[in-house]
Amino acid sequence: MEKIVITGMGTVNSTGLSVDESWNNVINGISGVGKITLFDSTGFNVKIACELKGFDPARYMDAKEARRRDRFEQMGVAAAKEAIAQSGLQITDTNRARIGVVVSSAIGGMKSLQDAIITMKDEGPRRISPFLIPMLMPNGASGLIAIDYGIKGPSFSVASACASGADGIGMAWMMLRAGIIDSAVTGAAESTVCEVGVGAFDRIGAMSRQNDDYSMTPAPFDKNRDGLVMGEGAAVIVLERESIARARGAVILAELAGYAGTADAYHVTAPDSNGMGGAAAIRAALDIAAVNYDEVGYISAHGTGTQLNDASETKAIKGAFGNQAYKLAVSSTKSMTGHMMGATGALEVIFSVQAVREGILPPTIHYETPDLECDLDFIPNKAREKKINVAISNAFGFGGHNAVLVVRKYV
């Protein structure tokens, strides 16, 4: 079976407006958490988020077009632009039908929908923007990227909650393996830091409320963790069949060696506490990638910082690896980027690629007090230099969606 390789990567998120900036901040343990500025949080239990700072959509698209696009779509286009530029992929009449776009979103244009409902209530239906539907639909970023670049292969998005980005990359990977396309622009974008988004996630008890002193939150796997911090941003990679990438002389960053997904079939928000769904996804992804379990050098954990998720993910890793789990390096970069919902899984694939390429494993910051239920090596607070050949990235979403991607050093 031909290898599927990564030739380009791009991101905008709370830790940086490029892959290099984000990676540098993450390996140095710099958090993107701050006070909410995108709306007035007076009266809210949660007043902190990992907002995208200094983002000017006019740097990536026409200013008029930017006004007609939701924030998550703007971010998706920005990340795709960096990824395509790095890959050197030229889109022409001879190949545009053989390129796919799978840029996902769990929720889509939540802020645009929220604002439209307020407008309709206050001013009537005639005041609703004619651009509302394309601004709120979750496939909006994928469609706009295809339009902007004239890509005419399959274009769609996946919505599987916080596994959306990983599942979307997995769908693109499967199309490439099946020979349906030769190249793919794939990842995810999400922007839910708005009144409804923050209020709703807080109502289900998922959010950290450390508003006055947020210097130690989120704290994945720490005994005193009190919930996730909402983030926003986008992450996109360019995937290609190895023969296509080599024929055009592309620099190959890593191999995407495997993907698998499972369902807990347990609860609409809570993970199954035994972690067996996640363990099954890890085992399946490694088996599909033909990777021996002892080859895995790093796990990019889902690691949200909630009590239930972190405990069940620890069990999932143990369930997949047995006693070897205690020899593995595991970390949650959400401790710095916050939880970007559907987009986080895509960003964590980029960090996994960087770990394999550079031999640096990002830390889990804010880790102070060990939890007996979370007793693995979580790379506390400081990045670790370690040469590895294989990393896996976990993405576990509401509804019991489990997605795992396997990144291997390209040789």
Question: Count of CB atoms within 10 A of residue 254's CB?
Answer: 24
Tell me the catalytic residues: 162, 302, 339
Q: How far apart are CA 169 and CA 259, in angstroms?
A: 9
Distances (CA, A) of 334 to 13, 56, 62, 214, 305: 11, 24, 32, 14, 8
Q: Does an H or E element contain 5, and which?
A: strand 4-13
β-pair partners for 395: 403
SS3 104: strand
The C-alpha angle with vertex 240 and arms to 6 and 22, in degrees rounded to 5, equals: 25
Q: How far apart are the first and last CA of the chain?
A: 15
Contacts (Cβ under 8 Å, ≥6 apart) of 122? none
Please state the φ and ψ torsions of residue 43, each to the nearest 5 degrees.
Answer: 90, -5
Q: Where are the beta strands (DSSP E) in 125-222?
A: 155-156, 183-190
The C-alpha angle with vertex 404 and arms to 218 and 260, in degrees rounded to 5, equals: 155
Question: Count of CB atoms within 10 A of residue 93's CB?
Answer: 8
Type of residue numbered 179: G
Please state the φ and ψ torsions of residue 63, each to the nearest 5 degrees.
Answer: -60, -35
Q: How far apart are CA 351 and CA 357, in angstroms?
A: 10
